[in-house]
Amino acid sequence: AKRVCDACKNYVINYLKSIGKVQVESYAESDFLMVFCPVVSKVGTDIEAALMLTDGKPAVLVVMHHTFDPHHLVAESRRQVNDARVWLTVDCLFYQKNLLPCPLNDIMQKQVADFLGSSSGSLVRRLLLTRRPHNVVAEMRDLWWQELFVLWGCCWWCL
């Protein structure tokens, strides 16, 4: 399952680095978590299990559907998420080690770009501003608004 998770994870990691995000080594340093959730049983059950890993941190949830069909239809996983800690839920399709070239993955890419984008108007920056004490916001501003994140996931236990 680890290799399966790498398909979407590597894509998202490379994108985040390309827009100036910094991967941190400790949970305490992070502003938000990337939670990668491959669907191995029922979507709702897998999402619940993956979100148990967040331990109160805000999260971006990437729900990964395994299929060989790039036209495979999936219900929007965000409908299964009622957790206020989840800022964004996206779906993607993959087969073996690769993301499929398909409209759903194009939508996922755009949603992640809009949400985590490097512009000062990105939604994640506005959310961080409303949830942080003033002194931390000033400190972040001095660091050129460089957002920190830690890559988290459910794939380590999905064997």
pLDDT band at 32 (very low <50, low <70, confident <90, very high): confident
Supply the range of the domain harboring residue 18: 2-157
84 Cβ contact partners less than 8 Å away, ≥ 6 residues apart = none
Q: What is the structure's pLDDT at 11?
A: 72
pLDDT tens sequence across 39-81: 888 888 888 888 887 777 788 898 999 899 999 999 999 999 9
Cβ burial 77-96 (10 Å sphere, 16+ → b, else e): bbebbeeebbbbbbbbbbbe
Per DSSP, the residues of 45-89 read: HHHHHHHGGGTT--EEEEEEEE-S-TT-----GGGG---TTEEEE
Structural domain count of the chain: 1
Distance from C-alpha of 15 to C-alpha of 19, rounded to nearest angstrom: 7
Query: β-pairing, 148-153 with 22-23?
Result: parallel
pLDDT tens sequence across 96-144: 778 889 999 889 888 887 887 655 455 555 554 454 443 333 333 333 2
